[in-house]
Amino acid sequence: MRSHYPVPAGLSQQPLWRIDYEQAQILNWLGKTIGPDKLAMLQEPFVYNTYFEKNAYPTFQHQAMALRLRKMISADKNLSSAAWRDYFKLRRRTNGTFNNSVAADGSDGHIVNTLWGMGALEDLGQQVHLPADGIAWIRSCQLETGGFIWCPFPALGRCENMIYTWAAVSLLSQANSKPRDTDGCIRWINEQFTDEGGFRSSPLANPNLTATYYALDALRILGASASKRIRPQSARRSSSLPSTLKVYSAQIEAPGNGSPSEAVRLAQSLDIHLWTAKNASHQWIAEAQRIASMHGFSIQFARGDEEYGTYTSVSGFGTYSHLDDLVAPGDARLGPYPPQKDVPLPWTEFRDTRIKAIREDKGRMVWQFNENEELTRILLDEACHTGDYGAISSFHFGLDDFLDFEPFLMEWEGRLAMIGLQDSHGGESWWWTSQLEGFRTLYLAEDPSWESFLKAIDNKWVLSVRRDASTNHQIEWSGALSEVRRFIADREQDWSWWTGSHSDRPLAMLTVLRPNMPFEIGAPKEGLSIRVRLRFGLGDSPNKAVLYEQQSELVSMHIDDREVHPEQVVLTHDRYLLYNVREPESKVVSVVVRDLANGRTEALHADLR
Read off φ and ψ for residue 145, nearest 5 degrees. -70, -20
H/E stretch holding 68 = helix 60-73
Number of alpha helices (DSSP H) and beta strands (DSSP E) in the chain: 17, 24
Q: How far apart are CA 137 and CA 353, in angstroms?
A: 33
Q: Residue 74 pLDDT > 80, yes or no? A: no
What proportion of the chain, given as a percentage, has pLDDT over 90? 76
Q: How far apart are CA 188 and CA 202, in angstroms?
A: 9
What is the pLDDT, as a whole number, of residue 547?
Answer: 62
pLDDT at 386 over 60: yes
Other CB atoms within 10 A of residue 425 CB: 17
Residues 299, 330: Cα–Cα separation, whole Å: 12
pLDDT of residue 75: 56
Answer whether 311's CB lies under 8 Å from 341's CB: no
> Which pLDDT score is estimated for 36?
74
pLDDT at 424: 94
Residue of 401 and 361 predicted with greater confidence = 361
pLDDT of 543 over the 80 cut: no
**According to the model, what pLDDT value does residue 76 have?**
58
Residue 523 has pLDDT above 60, yes or no: yes
Q: What's the pLDDT score for residue 583?
A: 81
pLDDT of residue 251: 98
The DSSP code sequence of 71-85 is HHH-S------HHHH
Round to whole Å and give the CA distance between 302 and 326.
11
Assess contact for 427 and 402: CB atoms under 8 A.
Answer: no
**How far is Cα 350 from Cα 312, in angstroms, rounded to an integer?**
7
Question: The dihedral of CA 79, 18, 149, 387: what is its sign?
Answer: positive
* Helix 111-123, helix 82-90: angle, nearest 10: 150
Average pLDDT, integer, range 479-485: 89
Amino acid (one-letter) located at 253 = E
Report d(CA 102, CA 124) in Å as an integer.
Answer: 19
Question: What mean pLDDT is predicted for residues 516-531?
Answer: 94
Start-end of H helices in 151-309: 162-174, 182-191, 209-221, 260-269, 282-294
Among candidate residues 254, 256, 258, 212, the one with its CA nearest the CA of residue 232: 212
Q: Give the SS3 label for residue 58.
A: coil
Q: Exposed, middle or buried: residue 585 (CB in 10 Å: 0-12, 13-18, 19+)?
A: exposed
Confidence of residue 398 (pLDDT cuts 50, 70, 90): confident
Confidence of residue 291 (pLDDT cuts 50, 70, 90): very high
pLDDT, position 312: 97
Q: Quick one: 286 exposed, middle or buried, by C-beta within 10 A (0-12, 13-18, 19+)?
A: middle
| Residue 354 DSSP one-character state | I
Residue-wise pLDDT tens digits, 144-173: 999 999 999 999 999 999 999 999 999 999
Q: What pLDDT score does 232 carry?
A: 74
Task: For the chain, give the mean pLDDT.
Answer: 92
With 90 as the cut, is the pLDDT of residue 540 above it? no
The pLDDT score that the predictor gives to residue 229 is 66
Q: How far apart are CA 251 and CA 246, in angstroms?
A: 17
- pLDDT tens profile 445-476: 999 999 999 999 999 999 999 998 888 889 99
502-503 vs 508-513, strand pairing mode: unpaired
Measure the CA–CA gap between 87 and 45, rounded to whole angstroms: 7
Tell me: pLDDT of 379 over 70. yes
Transcribe 123-168 into DSSP letters. Answer: HTT------HHHHHHHHTTB-TTS-B-SSSS-SS-----HHHHHHH
Amino acid at 21: Y
Q: What is the mean pLDDT of residues 250-273?
A: 96
Q: Is the pLDDT of residue 114 over 80?
A: yes
Give the pLDDT confidence of 16-67 residue by residue, as tens digits: 999 889 988 998 899 988 777 777 778 899 999 999 999 999 999 999 999 9
Reported confidence tier of residue 78, pLDDT bands at 50, 70, 90: low
Any idea of the CA torsion for 537, 539, 542, 543, to the nearest 10 degrees?
A: -100
Over residues 436-453, mean pLDDT:
96
